Amino acid sequence: MLKSKFGREITKITIHADEEKVDRFVVAHTEDTLLIGDMGATKFESSEIQWHGNGENEKYFFDTANACLVSYAGEISVIEYGASDILASVR
C-alpha cells in the first residue's frame, strides 16, 4: 500500500489515530524522504517529500482533511496528501 516513489527503502513506519481513536494516518521515513498518507480517505493518497528529519523530534497534526502539519526543528510544514512538494512552511 505504501511505497517510495524514489525507490528508497522505508526504515520507519508509524500509524497515528484520528480524533475518534481510529488508526488512520501513516507516516514513514526513508533515509532522505518522508511519506504521509490518509488511510481513511475514500481513495488512499500519500505524499513523499524530501526530508531531513528522522522521526525522533517531529510532531504531526492531522486536523485538516486534505493536509498534514509537521513540526520539526522550529519549522512547521504543510504537506498536502498526494503532493510531492511541501505546500508551505513557516519558522
Q: What is the pLDDT along the chain (91 residues), one digit of tens a residue?
A: 789 999 999 999 999 998 888 899 999 999 999 999 999 887 888 999 999 877 788 999 999 889 999 999 999 999 999 999 999 999 9
Distance between CA atoms of 19 and 39, rounded to whole angstroms?
Answer: 14
Question: CA-CA distance, 21 to 2, in Å (whole number)?
Answer: 22
Residue-range definition of the domain harbouring residue 38: 12-90
Cell numbers linked to 55: 522521526
Residue 39 sits in a domain of what CATH number? Answer: 2.40.10
| Residues sharing a CB contact under 8 Å with residue 20, sequence separation 6 or more, in sequence order | none
In this prediction the pTM is 0.88
What is the predicted pLDDT for the residue at 31? 93
Question: What pLDDT shows up at residue 2?
Answer: 86
Number of domains in the chain: 1
Q: Are strands 88-90 and 59-61 parallel, antiparallel or unpaired?
A: unpaired
